[in-house]
Amino acid sequence: MKKKALSLVVAAGFAAGTAWGADLVSVYRDAVAYDAQFAAARASLEAGREKLPQGRAGLLPTVGLSANTNWNKYDYHRRSDPAVDAAYKYNTNAWSVSLSQPLFRWQNWVGYNQAEISVAQAEAQFGIARQDLMVRVAQAYFDVLLAQEALATTKAQKVAIAEQLESAKRNFEVGTATITDTHEAQARHDLAEAQELAAENDLLVKRQTLRAIIGKEEAGLKNLRSGAVIAAPQPADINKWVESAESANLTVQTAQLGLEMATKEVEKQRAGHYPTLDVVASRGRNSQTSGYNVFANAGTPGSDTSSNSIGLQLSIPIFSGGATVSKDREAVALREKSLADLENARRTAALQARQAYLGVTSGLSQVRAYEAALTSSKSALESNKLGYEVGVRINIDVLNAQSQLYDTRQKLAKARLDTLIAQLKLKASAGSLSEDDLAAINALLE
């Protein structure tokens, strides 16, 4: 009867949060809509896309319109002959339209190419942010599951210890056990209560961490199925994953685009030595009203003047105080920096791929080992309970067997979840992590 009650407690504890609630994919979609870090990346992408029309603007004509109106007063006084004094009042109006179309400005063409690269960089950086969000969501989700598992394990262990404590007390009363058994069981029970409080606090913290990403607190999360089979990485060759990481990793691609940008910057600065040629055109009109001389009681006629012009404008840079040459040297040095950054990104991606691959393979081995250990721990617990009942085992043996069982169960749960996280990190290091990978893990949930 007690075994049946214990089984019900354990089952209820481990099922907490699994019978209802959100799954991994729905939590990820909530994070896409709420996470501030991802929202900043999305806004950065929109800003980055504007680099292309800005770069294209350097190849298109510029048109300007200007207009003015002035009220004028003109006073003239000759000291030797006051009779010729004059004071005129009149109004002038003018407008002009100007157009300039670059014909040869090499730096503008290079700037347009840089704008295309900049957009590609923005896209790659947004891809990095998306993959990072997937990993962060999965990590926070699994942290909650693991905290729920720890709490359920602690509660179930406390129930089991409480039963063992009652048994020790009864055996002491009838004289078949010493007071030591009771004290040992009581100490374990007190420790289990402290562990339960710590587990409850840890679960609250993990839930708040997930809430900060998705914007709400889920009542429960679907857990990993007990019999879920975690697939091995394909291809099962660490060198293949490393090769993929060195070329397809999004951080590597961003660094590669940075090198291309720096190379174009060298070309752009050297274009500062080149002449420029533009088509320039303008059209304008000036109007002046008639003036009136208040001294001579006479006026001057008004006038209208129109002008049109079109032509070519050539500009040849000769000397700019050494600024152009200095910017050229600066661009060359920054290109060398970008080359080093690219090499560092490749090495980092290769290291991440190796670590993640080993994390998956090691995790799968640990899962198999813990599954075998769990079976053995269950058998050991039953044997120790039976031995205690017939008097060949003491109470501490049963308590130790119980602790080993629950510790193994919790380590097995952690190994499973850590292996799934390592799978996501492996895909991210190779630049291939997508929502389909989250959906594949989601299929392993209850």
Angle in degrees, CA 297, 298, 300, rounded to 5: 150
| Per-residue DSSP letter, 271 | G
Is residue 262 within 8 Å of 56, Cβ to Cβ?
no
pLDDT at 17 exceeding the cut of 60: no
Beta partners for residue 445, in sequence order: 224
pLDDT at 441 exceeding the cut of 70: yes
In terms of domains, do 412 and 362 share one?
yes
Q: How confident is the model at residue 93 (pLDDT cuts 50, 70, 90)?
A: very high
Q: How far is CA 29 from CA 24, 26, 58, in A?
A: 9, 5, 40
Instruction: Count the Cβ atoms, other than its own, within 10 Å of residue 143.
Output: 19
Of 316, 346, 369, the domain-final residue: 316
Q: How far apart are CA 342 and CA 259, in angstroms?
A: 7
pLDDT value of position 156: 83
Is residue 359 within 8 Å of 422, Cβ to Cβ?
yes
Radius of gyration of the chain (CA): 40
Of 257, 289, 316, the domain-final residue: 316
Of 446, 10, 426, which is closest to residue 228 (Cα–Cα)? 446
The pLDDT tens digits for 134-185 are 999 999 999 999 999 999 888 888 887 787 777 777 777 776 667 877 787 7
In terms of domains, do 292 and 177 share one?
no
Cis amide leading into 317 (omega within 30): no
Mean pLDDT estimate for the chain: 87
In terms of domains, do 290 and 340 share one?
no
User: What's the number of domains the chain is made of?
Assistant: 2
For 297, the domain range is: 62-104+275-316
Range in 35-39, 196-200, 296-300 the model is least confident about: 296-300
Range in 35-39, 164-168, 355-359 the model is least confident about: 164-168
- Going by C-beta distance under 8 Å and a sequence separation of 6 or more, which residues neighbour residue 360? 232, 233, 419, 422, 423, 426
What long-range pairs does 326-335 form, CB within 8 A, spacing at least 24? 327/269, 327/272, 328/266, 328/269, 328/270, 328/272, 330/269, 331/262, 331/265, 331/266, 331/268, 331/269, 332/266, 334/262, 334/265, 335/259, 335/262, 335/263, 335/265, 335/266
Token digits of residue 420: 């799934």
pLDDT value of position 202: 92
The pLDDT tens digits for 182-235 are 787 788 788 888 988 999 999 999 999 999 999 998 878 999 988 889 999 999
In terms of domains, do 112 and 93 share one?
no
In terms of domains, do 165 and 246 share one?
yes
Q: How far apart are CA 28 and CA 442, in angstroms?
A: 11
Token digits of residue 436: 């389909």
In terms of domains, do 52 and 67 share one?
no
In terms of domains, do 71 and 15 share one?
no
- Going by C-beta distance under 8 Å and a sequence separation of 6 or more, which residues neighbour residue 212? none
Q: How far apart are CA 241 and CA 256, in angstroms?
A: 19
- Choose the most confident range, by mean pLDDT, from 128-132, 233-237, 401-405: 128-132
In terms of domains, do 307 and 327 share one?
no
In terms of domains, do 414 and 293 share one?
no
In terms of domains, do 100 and 111 share one?
no
We report the CATH number of the domain holding residue 117 as 1.20.1600.10
